[in-house]
């Protein structure tokens, strides 16, 4: 089968690889119909050391179940499914509490394993716990939005929950990538009164406004902090979604939270230490969030997608065939595209 393999920085190709197939009785084999490229795929794209065998890529997919192992109970061949970026058993203490990314039997698709979704097919471990059957066909108009439940929409929602977004609260979203844009959708959905998007790409902040952002802040650093305080009566926002993961963006997130506010971080941290720690201490800022258990939020968000209340699939501004995946990485890395959908 054809699959995306990254061999080193700026070297990603579609190659012939052995066909995916069932290994464990709890596996499902999924024929991928739609995958996508993630902002997090761009870190290895820029920095990966060259390896002989390469790494399989992709952790977001919608597809059709081809075959199920003997122990799979809830899925059958022909089901259209969405695949969250982590697999999980659905039964352990952490899965039952909605923290599937900490499942002791779980793991991640994409670079850390041989299970890549930017491919014609993918083996899905622990299929009963991991996959969610969709009540629509794989050619339905809602598929791009349902595909975002694999990662970016679930991650934005997780950030909003961690930042304690709710009715009447003021919110800032740091980062105008696909996760930040989905964070705006999530904040609006949870009833936020004011939503400030912080970013400097005009096309992205324009989309954020369509998603419900009330204000745009293009400044960075001290200028950004000053501007957010001006927009919020001098004290900053109740809730901040940190959707970048860099030291500067985290420091800004902490400094624009009002005393007693909360930062929900969903940008993968690129530093070991947390900046602005003293300010966070004296202002009693709650810092929460982490790897998003996308699986926990699929059903709730799916209802809003199918009900036409949210349309996170609008973050996809380009669609490409699998064979053009390298061009997709380039376009996202050069900021020509917010997020690329791959039609397989």
Q: What residues line the site for Zn ion (CB under 5 A)?
A: 88-89, 92, 95, 103
Instruction: Give whichever of 88 and 232 is closer to Zn ion, judged by the CB atom.
Output: 88
Indicate the residue among 74 and 286 with the shorter CB distance to Zn ion. Answer: 74
292 or 310: whose CB is closer to Zn ion?
Answer: 292
The set of residues, in sequence order, having a beta carbon less than 8 Å from that of 64 and lying 6+ positions away, is 30, 31, 33, 78, 79, 80, 81, 138
Q: How far is the CB of 87 from Zn ion (least distance, A)?
A: 9
Between 88 and 118, CB nearer to Zn ion? 88
Q: Which residue of this chain has its Cβ atom nearest to Zn ion in the complex?
A: 103
- Do residues 337 and 318 touch, judged by C-beta distance below 8 A? yes
Distance between CA atoms of 294 and 299, rounded to whole angstroms? 10
Question: Taking the complex as a whole, how short is the minimal distance between the CB of residue 269 and Zn ion, in angstroms?
Answer: 24
Neighbours of 338 (CB within 10 A): 23
β-partners of residue 107 are: 87
Helix (H) or strand (E) holding 176: none
Residue 26 or 118 with smaller CB distance to Zn ion: 26
Residue by residue, DSSP assigns 314-342 as GGEEEEEEGGGHHHHHHHHHTTS-SEEEE
**42 vs 92 by CB, closer to Zn ion:** 92
**Closest approach of Cβ 128 to Zn ion, in Å?**
11
Closest CA to 57 of 101, 11, 114, 19: 114
Residue 252 and residue 224 in contact, taking contact as beta carbons nearer than 8 Å: yes
* Geometric angle at alpha carbon 37, from 31 and 41, rounded to 5°: 120
């Amino acid at each position: 089968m054809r699959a995306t393999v990254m061999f080193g920085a700026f070297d990603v190709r579609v190659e012939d690889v052995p066909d995916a197939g069932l290994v464990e009785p709890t596996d499902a084999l999924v024929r991928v119909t739609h995958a996508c490229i993630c902002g997090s795929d761009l870190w290895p794209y820029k920095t990966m050391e060259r390896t002989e065998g390469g790494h399989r890529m992709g952790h977001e997919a919608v597809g059709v179940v081809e075959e199920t192992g003997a122990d799979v109970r809830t899925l059958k061949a022909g089901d259209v499914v969405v695949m969250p970026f982590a697999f999980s058993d659905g039964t352990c203490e952490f899965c039952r509490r909605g923290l599937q990314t900490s499942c002791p039997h779980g793991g991640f698709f994409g670079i850390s394993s041989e299970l890549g979704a930017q491919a014609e097919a993918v083996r899905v471990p622990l299929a009963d716990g991991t996959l969610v059957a969709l009540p629509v066909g794989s050619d339905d108009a809602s598929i791009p939005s349902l595909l975002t439940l694999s990662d970016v929409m679930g991650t934005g929602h997780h950030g909003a929950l961690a930042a304690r977004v709710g009715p009447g609260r003021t919110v800032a979203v740091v980062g105008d990538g696909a996760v930040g844009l989905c964070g705006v959708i999530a904040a609006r959905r949870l009833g936020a009164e004011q939503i400030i998007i912080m970013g400097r790409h005009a096309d992205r902040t324009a989309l954020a406004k369509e998603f419900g952002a009330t204000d745009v802040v293009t400044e960075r650093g001290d200028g950004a902090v000053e501007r957010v305080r001006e927009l919020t009566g001098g004290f900053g926002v109740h809730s901040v979604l940190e959707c970048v993961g860099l030291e500067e963006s985290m420091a800004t997130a902490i400094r624009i939270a009002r005393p007693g506010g909360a930062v929900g971080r969903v940008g993968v941290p690129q530093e070991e230490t947390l900046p602005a720690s003293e300010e966070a201490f004296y202002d009693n800022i709650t810092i929460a969030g982490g790897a998003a258990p996308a699986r926990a939020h699929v059903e709730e968000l799916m209802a809003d997608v199918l009900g036409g209340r949210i349309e996170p699939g609008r973050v996809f501004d380009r669609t490409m065939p699998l064979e053009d995946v390298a061009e997709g990485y380039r376009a996202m890395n050069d900021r020509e595209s917010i997020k690329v959908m791959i039609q397989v």
